[in-house]
Structure 1
């Protein structure tokens, strides 16, 4: 029987001070990326894009597939900063693409502009959040190693 002065045994998760932050970065951000990608894939049918807005739809579908695959890979292995940078670039492109595509005399539906701006902004927000979490994880690990 342990005496009152002994310290309780430490659980494996408590030995890594960043375990919860890593799990949130990998799983919660990954799930939100999956949901926004699926939303972007089905947006043309929900918003009722006209048949003439094919350029916008191809652009959205391509970005949604790439981000969907990146999000799936987050569940397979712990992501580095590179996938977050890809999502950041995809989000910026998605947010500005309705105006970039309309400057090339292609047909863009107004509903696509709203969907692209909102989901592109979400991609940017999620990638910046994930990069910030990665920075915090690395900072905490370096402090933890310095203290040990």
Structure 2
């Protein structure tokens, strides 16, 4: 029964990842990106597609640390990308910083929560398998 509850919590994290990614996809229209911010938008689309595919994969398979680490790296990149892209002399504007840092931070938090849940689940399985004989 515990594994069913843990799987349900992992599915909730997958669903939250999808909602956050949908927010990333509509951010250009909500924030009002200018036409010159195509580089920021392409970056967000690339990160969003990766995280969306990982989130969808979570529904078919029990998530692993690799998928959570991929979301963690995507979140870190998204949070720092406005400054990394502006250092490359690409078109970025201030509204992208707000959206990217916020959504990147949400990705980071969700991946860390999922990693913590996986770790706790592994400890429980280890305690059960090494229990009294």
TM-score, length of structure 2 as denominator length: 0.95
Count of residues in correspondence between the two structures = 132
Deviation, structure 1 residue 109? 1.6
CA distance in 1, matches of 2:60, 2:22: 19
Deviations 1:70-95 (A, max 9, x none): 10111111111111010000000000
One of 14, 21, 26 as aligned partner of 2:6 = 21
Cα shift readout 1:27-75 (whole Å, capped 9, x = no counterpart): 1100000001010011101111000000000000110011001101111
Conserved 8 A contact 1:22-1:137: no
Does structure 2 retain, via aligned residues, the 8 Å contact 1:18–1:141? Answer: no
Compare the two structures and name the one with the higher helix fraction.
Answer: 2
Q: Stretches of 4+ moved more than 6 A in 1? A: none
Displacement after TM superposition at 1:19 (Å):
2.8
Distance 2:51 2:5 in 1: 24
* In structure 2, distance between residues paired with 1:141 and 1:19: 13
Select which of 100, 104, 120 maps to 1:116: 100
The match for 1:33 among 17, 29, 42 is 17
> Which ranges of structure 1 fall in alignment gaps of 5 or more residues?
1-12
Deviation per CA, 1:7-42, whole angstroms, max 9, x where unpaired?
Answer: xxxxxx2xxx333123202x1100000001010011
Give the RMSD, CA atoms, in angstroms.
1.0
Tell which structure's C-alpha radius of gyration is larger. 1
Whether 2:50 is the aligned partner of 1:44: answer no
